[in-house]
Amino acid sequence: MNDRTMKAVLYDRYGGPEVLHVGRVPRPEPAPGEVLVRVHAFSVNGGELAARSGRIRLLTGRKFPQRVGLDFTGELAALGEGVTEPGAGEGVTEPALGEGMTEPAVGDRVWGVLGRSSGFGSAAEYVSVPVKRLGRVPEGLDPVDAAALPVATTAVTALRDKAGLRPGERLLVRGAAGGVGSAAVQLGRAYGAEVTALARAANLDFVRELGAHKAVDHRAVQPAELGRFDVVLDTVGSDLRTFRRLLAPGGRMVTIAFDLSRPVASLGSIAATAVHGRGRVRFFSGNPLREDFDDLARHVAEGKLRPAVDKVFALEETAAAHRALESGGVRGKYVVRVTP
């Protein structure tokens, strides 16, 4: 087999999970400032389901084949120009992969998220990524378990930076059993907030175990019955106006999703909250850097954040992982193992 190629998950047309298949593509070479990572595992995220189905084709275009995979854990396999190993002379002069690491080295265990400009593509044997978008996996954390956590940087940014969550405040997490939501429940508790988690009835015990003070079946209550909150974190994207009404004076709402059934209208509605009504809805998509992964690693090391892996799939079973996520009810993350 040509060692300049690798396995990757591809699709040649938009559609359901069945369009996904494992093919061979050229193995990437790290550009200046990048590193080549041998991927151990990745998780399945809602954004790539939307892309694969064609619901955001205005952004993804019609050039095929296209790739899936947003986050990853793995091992540094090669360093691009300008990224040198310790003791190799001139190179990186500031910590590259976390506290205590002055320079990266081949063999380091890392985790990361592809940036907005990179698109998807971590569902593969190798990925090339800017060194600034990597962190070092905490010691003792299994690489498959670790793959459930890179997306938690989104929860860190949402609560710490966008919402400015403070101790004693009331936090509502919508979609609390999912990848970002399950991390937000844990982090909200760690930040000293009173956490209310909205989830399916079958997942209420799960979110309580993560640290939620109150767990509510989202199908059994009307939003108006929930009370007022200082911070609302939404991971669903629909009915944002309804949940915005739950904000207490001075409250903040952050969403990482929009209504995919009406994307233009949904994004327009979010933008309009900046100029009218009570409480702006802050929308963002995760684009983490090294310092975010450093913060994530500290939370893990301090026992404030743990991975939640629902089920592990093989690379050839990526379509099944997509299908499982689309069916709903996930507890944490579905993870795909790439290397045996």
Per-residue model confidence as pLDDT tens digits over 102-127: 467 899 999 999 977 678 999 999 99
Residue ranges making up the domain that contains 106: 5-149+289-337
Cβ atoms of 131 and 83 within 8 Å: the answer is yes
Please, which pLDDT band fits residue 279 given cuts at 50, 70 and 90? low
Same domain, 137 and 198: no
Residue 148 burial by Cβ neighbours in a 10 Å radius (0-12, 13-18, 19+) = buried
What is the sign, positive or negative, of the torsion defined by CA atoms of 199, 204, 208, 210?
negative
- CA proximity to 128, closest of 26, 256, 214, 14: 26
Please, which pLDDT band fits residue 273 given cuts at 50, 70 and 90? low
Residue 300 pLDDT exceeds 90: yes
Same domain, 9 and 104: yes
Residues contacting residue 153 through CB under 8 Å, at least 6 positions apart: 113, 286, 288, 292, 293, 295, 296
Q: Of 264, 283, 302, which marks where a domain is finished? A: 283
Same domain, 228 and 178: yes
Buried/exposed 49-75: b ≥16 CB within 10 Å, e otherwise? bbbbbeeeeeebeeeeebbbbbbbbbb
- As given in the structure block, the two tokens for residue 72 are 């990853």
Same domain, 116 and 189: no
For the chain, the domain total comes to 2
Cα–Cα distance between 340 and 7 in angstroms, integer?
Answer: 14
Same domain, 270 and 322: no
In this predicted model, what pLDDT tens digit does every residue of 128-141 receive, in sequence order?
999 999 999 999 99
Same domain, 261 and 321: no
Tokens 């998780």 belong to: 43
Residue 216's beta-bridge partner residues? 198
In this predicted model, what pLDDT tens digit does every residue of 230-247 receive, in sequence order?
999 999 988 889 999 999
CATH number (domain holding residue 216): 3.40.50.720
Q: Which long-range contacts (CB under 8 A, 24 or more apart) does 208-216 make?
A: 210/176, 210/182, 210/185, 210/186, 210/308, 211/185, 211/186, 212/173, 212/176, 212/185, 213/189, 215/176
Cβ atoms of 146 and 307 within 8 Å: the answer is yes
Specify the pLDDT at position 266.
44
Helices H, strands E: what count in the chain? 10, 16
Residue 25 burial by Cβ neighbours in a 10 Å radius (0-12, 13-18, 19+) = middle
Helix segments in 240-289, DSSP class H: 240-244, 263-272
Residue 257 pLDDT exceeds 50: yes
Specify the pLDDT at position 282.
79
Cα–Cα distance between 215 and 19 in angstroms, integer?
Answer: 37
CATH number (domain holding residue 20): 3.90.180.10
Same domain, 242 and 226: yes
Bigger pLDDT: 228 or 266? 228
Same domain, 251 and 268: yes
- CA proximity to 2, closest of 149, 151, 95, 125: 125
Please, which pLDDT band fits residue 325 given cuts at 50, 70 and 90? very high
Residue 95 pLDDT exceeds 90: no
Same domain, 91 and 28: yes
Residue 247's beta-bridge partner residues? 229
What kind and span of H or E run contains 47?
Answer: helix 46-53
Same domain, 119 and 187: no
Same domain, 123 and 170: no
Specify the pLDDT at position 264.
45
Q: Ramachandran region of residue 299, left (φ > 0), alpha (ψ -120 to 50) or beta?
A: alpha
Tell me what the pLDDT averaged over the chain comes to: 88
Residue 314's beta-bridge partner residues? 337
Bigger pLDDT: 62 or 257? 62
Specify the pLDDT at position 1.
44
Same domain, 253 and 332: no
